[in-house]
């Protein structure tokens, strides 16, 4: 039964009730008239009374129907109310589920933040521990450099020379005022930390550290950001040291694209990446591919820094090494001579880069068989080192190469030649902070040996060995002293703690 039918029944019922009410009034009037009449007709009275009872019954039933309808309406209203409440509860349930999901996401983000903060804390603690490194580490670094000088042998292999092209560290251009971009201090610190790990051969620590820093930078700054390019450079250098040249090349090319896009094609940082990429290609023997990159880096540095800047001289050295491996000796001589001129003008004749460039130029002469020119350059390096260490040269104060040649001349006169040690401590001039001098001693000694001057060669090689031995002894002594100091500090701390505990107990 529909709602419309129910309303029609109730409406009809009310109409019937009205009709019955009217009939009941008429019957009441009729009964009163019959009772007041002179003729009392009992049959009529009985009929009227029965009709009254039926009318009353009909009215009662009609009232029941109306009341039942009212009750049904109340029930329907309650049902609608309950439906509304159920709908509201469902909506609240959906809202609560959404709130719960959002809260869970915030919880996960908070847990990730906590984990990241813990990692950063560990990282900062380790960086703080880096400050404990002292001169011992510096001495070891210098020794390492002395073992890998570009011309440590008389006729070095191409690979040996190329291995010593100078990569550009990520923080080299941080101080250029016209660069427009300064590498953040945290990346410079991270670079130093990674270098420490890599120098110790701990690549399993250095590589994940670089990758985590790179991932964090890409999340915060996006992929196309100069800081990301710097981090790519650092990671590429680590891969290069592991001989993973393909991975390193991919990273450097990516860094180059980012820096060209964000900093411009003529920015010093672009030159740094070009130089590192050229060094990498050189290590792989791709000298023709490396040369244009190196030349472009040189052009950028000349335009930005000026043609007489020391960084330009360093780039010239790298370019000369690439050309030397391609037997382009005229260009090699031109680049080395120009680099030498810049170093002497800007840094002075006593700067280590001057001696290193002279050595490189001498290596070029050796490749061409110009032994006399190479010998003159080696003697110039040793003479300058002698004057720095012992003062002006005179009859009593002779450079080591002159001593060596005198011993060569006198070897036939006196088979028992005067021990080298009696000529003074010249070998101390080739100490640990002058690796190029030690290399020059070896190179000139090898050249003497090639010329048949074995006594002179033995003198120089003996000097080089002495300097190396003294440097190693110095490093060992420094380590022993450092270990003793640590043990003493540790012992004092224990004694102080014991005294403190005794006083507390008393």
Q: Does the pTM of the predicted model rise above 0.75?
A: no
Positions of the chain with pLDDT lower than 50, given as ranges:
130-163, 171, 173-178, 417, 419-433, 504, 506
Distance CA 198, CA 375 (A): 37
What kind of architecture, by CATH, is found in domain 370-409+430-479? Answer: Alpha Horseshoe (1.25)
Whole-number Å distance between alpha carbons of 260 and 319: 22
Instruction: Give the Cα separation of 333 and 355 in Å (integer).
Output: 15
Q: What is the pLDDT of residue 493?
A: 54
370-409+430-479 has the same fold as 277-368: yes
Interatomic CA distance for residues 344 and 341, integer angstroms: 5
> What confidence score (pLDDT) does residue 497 get?
56
Q: How far apart are CA 374 and CA 359, in angstroms?
A: 8
The CATH number for 277-368, chosen from 3.40.50.620, 1.20.20.10, 1.25.40.10, 3.40.50.2000, is 1.25.40.10
Give me the CATH code for the 185-263 domain, please. 1.25.40.10
Boundaries of every domain in the chain = 6-123, 185-263, 277-368, 370-409+430-479
**Residue 347 DSSP code:** T
For 433, residues 6+ apart whose C-beta sits below 8 A from its C-beta are: 142
User: What does the block give as tokens for 428?
Assistant: 């101390």
Res 198: pLDDT: 83
C-alpha–C-alpha distance, residues 442 and 366, integer Å: 14
Look at phi and psi of residue 397 and say left if phi exceeds 0, alpha if psi is from -120 to 50, else beta: beta
């Amino acid at each position: 039964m529909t709602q419309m039918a129910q309303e029609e029944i109730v409406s009809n019922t009310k109409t019937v009730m009205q009709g019955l009410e009217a009939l009941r009034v008429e019957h009441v009037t009729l009964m009163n008239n019959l009772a007041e009449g002179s003729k009392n007709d009992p049959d009529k009275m009985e009929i009227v009374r029965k009709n009254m009872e039926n009318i009353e019954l009909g009215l009662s039933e009609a009232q029941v129907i109306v009341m039942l309808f009212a009750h049904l309406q109340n029930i329907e209203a309650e049902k609608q109310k309950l439906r509304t409440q159920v709908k509201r509860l469902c909506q609240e349930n959906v809202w609560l589920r959404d709130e719960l999901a959002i809260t869970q996401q915030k919880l996960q983000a908070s847990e990730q933040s906590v984990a990241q903060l813990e990692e950063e804390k560990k990282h900062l603690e380790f960086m703080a521990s880096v400050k404990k490194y002292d001169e011992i580490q510096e001495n070891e670094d210098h020794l390492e450099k002395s073992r890998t000088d570009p011309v440590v042998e008389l006729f070095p292999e191409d690979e040996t020379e190329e291995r010593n092209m100078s990569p550009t560290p990520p923080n080299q251009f941080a101080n250029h005022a016209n660069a427009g971009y300064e590498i953040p201090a945290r990346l410079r610190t991270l670079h130093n930390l990674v270098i420490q790990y890599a120098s110790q051969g701990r690549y399993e620590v250095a590589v994940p550290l670089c990758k985590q820093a790179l991932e964090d930078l890409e999340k915060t700054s996006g992929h196309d950001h100069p800081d990301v390019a710097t981090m790519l450079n650092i990671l590429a250098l680590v891969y290069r040291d592991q001989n993973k040249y393909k991975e390193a090349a991919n990273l450097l090319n990516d860094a180059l694209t980012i820096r060209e896009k964000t900093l411009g094609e003529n920015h010093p940082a672009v030159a740094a990446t070009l130089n590192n990429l050229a060094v990498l290609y050189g290590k792989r023997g791709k000298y023709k591919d490396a040369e244009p990159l190196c030349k472009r880096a040189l052009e950028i540095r000349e335009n930005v820094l000026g043609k007489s800047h020391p960084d330009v001289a360093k780039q010239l050295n790298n370019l000369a090494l690439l050309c030397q491996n391609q037997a382009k000796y005229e260009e090699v001589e031109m680049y080395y001579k120009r680099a030498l001129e810049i170093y002497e003008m800007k840094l002075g004749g006593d700067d280590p880069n001057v001696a290193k460039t002279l050595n490189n130029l001498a290596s070029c002469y050796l490749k061409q068989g110009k032994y006399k020119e190479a010998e003159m350059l080696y003697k110039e390096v040793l003479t300058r080192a002698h004057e720095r260490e012992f003062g002006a040269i005179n009859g009593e104060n002779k450079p080591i190469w002159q001593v060596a040649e005198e011993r060569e001349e006198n070897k036939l006169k006196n088979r028992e030649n005067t021990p080298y040690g009696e000529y003074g401590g010249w070998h101390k001039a080739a100490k640990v902070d002058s690796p190029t001098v030690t290399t020059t001693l070896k190179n000139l000694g090898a050249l003497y040996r090639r010329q048949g001057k074995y006594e002179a060669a033995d003198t120089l090689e003996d000097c080089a060995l002495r300097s190396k031995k003294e440097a190693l002894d110095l490093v060992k002594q420094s380590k022993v002293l450092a270990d003793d100091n640590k043990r003493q500090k540790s012992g004092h701390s224990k004694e102080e703690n014991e005294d403190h505990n005794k006083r507390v107990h008393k």
